Amino acid sequence: MEKSDTLRKTRCSQSFSEGEYAMQFGHFDDARREYVVTTPRTPLPWINYLGSESFFTLLSNTAGGYSFYRDARLRRLTRYRYNNAPLDSEGFHIYVKDGESVWNPGWQPVQAELDEYVCRHGLGYTVIEGKKGGVRAQQELFVPFGDNCLLMRVRVRNDSKEEKRISIFPYVEFCLWDAMDDASNFQRNYSTGEVEIDGAAIYHKTEYRERRDHYAVFWANRAPDGFDTAREAFLGVYGSPARPEAVFGQGCTGSIAHGWQPVAAQQFDLTLAPGASETILFGLGYIENPREEKWEAPNVINKARARAMMARYAADAQFDDALAALSAHWDELLGHYQASTGDEKLDRMVNIWNQYQCMVTFNMSRSASYFESGMGRGMGFRDSCQDLLGFVHIIPERARERILDIAATQFPDGSAYHQYQPLTKKGNLDVGSGFNDDPLWLIAGVDAYLRETGDFAILDERVPFDNDETLSQTLLEHLRRSFRFTSKHLGPHGLPLIGRADWNDCLNLNCFSEQSGESFQTTGPSEGPVAESVFIAGMFVKYGRAWTDILRHVGLVDEARMAERAIASVERATLTAGWDGAWFRRAYDASGNVVGGCECEEGQIFIEPQGMCVMAGIGKDTGEAEKALASVKERLDTKYGIVLLQPAYTRYRLELGEITSYPPGYKENAGIFCHNNPWIVCAEASLGHGARAFEVYCRTAPAYIEDISEIHRTEPYVYSQMIAGCDAPTFGEGKNSWLTGTAAWTFVSVSQAILGVTPTLDGLKLDPCVPASAKGFTVTRLYRGATYHITVDNSAGVEHGVKSVTADGKTLSGNVLPPAAPGAAVDVRVVMG
């Protein structure tokens, strides 16, 4: 142990006061709830999500991105080429032609130097503005609430002293609906593309002649001076979006796409007096027609619905109204939890960006980002259950639906499909089941829902098993089977069997894969009789207790007692076979060898069981919890966050699987996996360590690391799944931004563990855990229909402990506020000490 140990300790414990890298590419504008990007040359494209219902657009700070309707694979409206060079050249670009000068307000794809540039990413909208040669051009984009379209307003203004004759060209490239097929089946697709032109609208109707009942439409609110719908006419056969022939040459050609690549390009010639400006409204819509109403004439698509859509956004005032409605929608959503702490970084994370990211993960799960291609996995069982923890307070009704959808994919024995498809809501056969943490995450999700809403009626809902209605049982029965699955799948040490993997998808102890290309997730038996997980043991104790609380609440006291015995026995096993002396072990492999113990050559300590077991309260009274967290600090801490394990694995190990497939410092092999850093925050807070909890929180919170954007590279307003760990040559570099369980867990950690406003089955519990220097703060919380204005007074300067709680002047006997009547406003005063 000693040798490798000292080595690692020095490697990872670096000073936290660097400062020499301070480098930003923009700044926050909290009053407008925006991130303002001030250069198009961000280290990576920095994106935003437009849309929150059915129609979505990913949009970068240079107007790259794509749109889809509901399913990013099956209903992709516009093309996007991942992994392309140059990066990010498809999107919603407009070209400005001013004499010989051609440029884009977002810089891409022509990349002409701009005199001024700014991009404002706001909540559900983005505004990009560029200025060059005395012309200012702005594009404002958003998806209106309640409609299936992307709207874009383009404004151009002549800021020069001379009259300007300029042309504006918008350009989008259509995807032939199924993104996977579109990117591979060229022998067919080059012959199927079809469009129709009708005035200022370009209709994309590929496959509408046969089995599709939907089309896309790109429109402008005024007649263009030209258009193209064939890509090779607009760009040139060997042209590119960086140098479209039509723009650089003689203008649009009026081409009609027959097969090949259908696009929508238009041309508007404007004459602008000095100081004059013009506005054009554009849209990209998705329309479905009932089969019997598909056509308005032979081969002519029925455009009635498209015309109605265009009429809804034909004038500036309509555009403005829709934008105002969107803003009101976000006011309502974010209003459920607002804090004022005196720390502007903390406030902007809690009040704006963390909650915004939680909503995006609710909408997208792990499907479409600039790292997730939208063609891969469906909704994860464990991912979706955890995402719930971050949005249940914002949209409890949607959380309810989501819970019932997820539970319906559970098998009768309590195990679960690891993934399901959002369109069909059916479990995904390719991956199947066998991830033995999955069942317990269902308890976690339902527990969070019950604590938020008090809606115990959900437990009586009848929900199918394996999507089979004839196998329906109550949701309560589903939870029972979840709990029972774990208690019936214990290994030689009395710890839960791991199956294919637990939370760590890459710790594959029953896999033994020797062939390249085999899936680590599905190779080998779905469960071995020996490999056990200490992490699942921690989950079983934590969420098992949540289960017994629920049981007692619904009066099933005997069952609760029985469950408590099962929990106590796993807890004992965790403190014996699961305890290594100074931290919790990670697992036992298929041969019964310790994973994550000091006898291991590499991978001696892992973060996950320390976080989960301490959150579960294991070893809290007997000292192990304190020791485990001290070991995390000593061995896993780095200036950019806590790494997943140490020492990193340096070679592939058959008996451990995918985790050892990653080079040291990346992903699950000792990367800073942001998702489980907040577990340590919660764990530290559960021991009353306010300063340490906040320190860990700040280490990965985007707003606090904005000035290392050059190193971090991903967006400074959202979490990434992973930051390269101290063993990686690119230590500190973020990857896989946006779609990560980190969003939900960091919100739980900051809103509940640190600021201490935690829903329980009986009401709102107030138990802050903060640095002693934090003298007080306020939180406004909408909870079960009532609004609580909470003021926390820490003039005592403690890290935790509540001396008194008063509600509307009346002193409470504990620190749990019983739910007030819906509509009530309650003034709460918490005195720490």
Cβ burial of 697 (10 Å; 0-12, 13-18, 19+) is buried
Least spacing, CB of residue 326 vs ligand GLC, in Å: 29
Between CA 607 and CA 583 the distance in angstroms is: 10
Give the shortest CB-506-to-ligand GLC separation in angstroms.
5
Per rule CB under 6 A, is residue 438 in the interface with ligand GLC? no
Contact 309, 283 (CB under 8 A): yes
The yes or no reply on residue 379 touching ligand GLC (CB under 6 A) is no
Query: Is residue 428 within 8 Å of residue 411, measured between CB atoms?
Result: no
In this chain, which residue has its C-beta nearest to ligand GLC?
Answer: 505
505 among known catalytic residues: yes
Q: Which of these is catalytic: 71, 182, 387, 505? A: 505
Out of 147, 194, 571, 658, name the contact with ligand GLC by CB under 6 A: 658
611 scored as a contact of ligand GLC (CB under 6 A)? no
If binding is defined by CB under 6 A, does position 383 make contact with ligand GLC? yes
- 95 counts as binding ligand GLC under rule CB under 6 A: no
Q: Is 504 in the site for ligand GLC (CB under 6 A)?
A: yes
* Contacts (Cβ under 8 Å, ≥6 apart) of 71: 367, 422, 423
Chain centroid, CA 72 distance in Å: 15
| The only residue of 148, 363, 646, 721 in contact with ligand GLC, by rule CB under 6 A | 721
d(CA 595, CA 460): 41
Q: How far is CA 580 from CA 197, 634, 660, 818, in A?
A: 71, 15, 22, 42
In this structure, are residues 437 and 540 in contact, taking their beta carbons and an 8 Å threshold? no
Question: How many residues would you count in the chain?
Answer: 833
Q: Kindly identify the residues of this chain, within the stretch 308-347, that bind ligand GLC according to CB under 6 A.
A: none
Contacts with ligand GLC by CB under 6 A: the residue count is: 15
| Of 308-316, 504-512, 580-588, 760-768: span binding ligand GLC (CB under 6 A) | 504-512
| Residue number, 339 or 511, with CB nearest to ligand GLC | 511
| Segment contacting ligand GLC by CB under 6 A, of 262-270, 441-449, 489-497, 503-511 | 503-511
505 binds ligand GLC (CB under 6 A): yes
Q: Which stretch binds ligand GLC (CB under 6 A): 254-262, 302-310, 498-506, 647-655?
A: 498-506
Q: Give the nearest distance from C-beta 349 to ligand GLC in angstroms.
A: 20
Torsional class of 581: left (φ above 0), alpha (ψ -120 to 50), beta (otherwise): left
Question: Least distance (Å) from ligand GLC to the CB of residue 137?
Answer: 39
Q: Is the dihedral of CA 719, 351, 686, 638 positive or negative?
A: positive
The smaller minimum CB distance to ligand GLC, of residues 302 and 513, is found at 513
Instruction: For the CB of residue 52, give the shortest distance to ligand GLC in the complex, in Å.
Output: 21
Q: Are 93 and 106 in contact (CB under 8 A)?
A: yes
Task: Quote the CA–CA distance of 382 and 611 in Å, as a whole number.
Answer: 17
Quick one: which of 624, 668, 767, 799 contacts ligand GLC (CB under 6 A)? Answer: 668
Piece of the chain touching ligand GLC by CB under 6 A; list 497-505, 626-634, 712-720, 776-784: 497-505
Phi and psi at 525, nearest 5°, equal -70, 150
Q: Which amino acid appears at position 706 of this protein? A: E
Q: How far is the CB of 499 from ligand GLC (least distance, A)?
A: 13
Q: Which CB sits closer to ligand GLC, 173 or 383?
A: 383
> Residues near 649 by Cβ (< 8 Å), separated by ≥ 6?
602, 603, 656, 659, 660, 664, 669, 670
Task: Please return the burial class of 231, using the count of CB atoms within 10 Å of its CB with bins 0-12, 13-18 and 19+.
Answer: buried
Near ligand GLC in 745-804, by CB under 6 A? none
Which of 227/719 has CB closer to ligand GLC?
Answer: 719
| Positions 507 through 536 that interact with ligand GLC (CB under 6 A) | 521
In sequence order, what DSSP letters do the residues of 83-151 get, joined into one string?
Answer: T-SSTT--BSEEEEEETTEEE-TT-TTT-PPPSEEEEEE-SSEEEEEEEETTEEEEEEEE--TTSSEEE
Q: Which of 121, 366, 400, 402 binds ligand GLC (CB under 6 A)?
A: 366
* Contacting positions for ligand GLC (CB under 6 A): 366, 377, 380, 382-383, 503-506, 521, 658, 667-668, 721, 740
Catalytic positions, written as ranges: 505
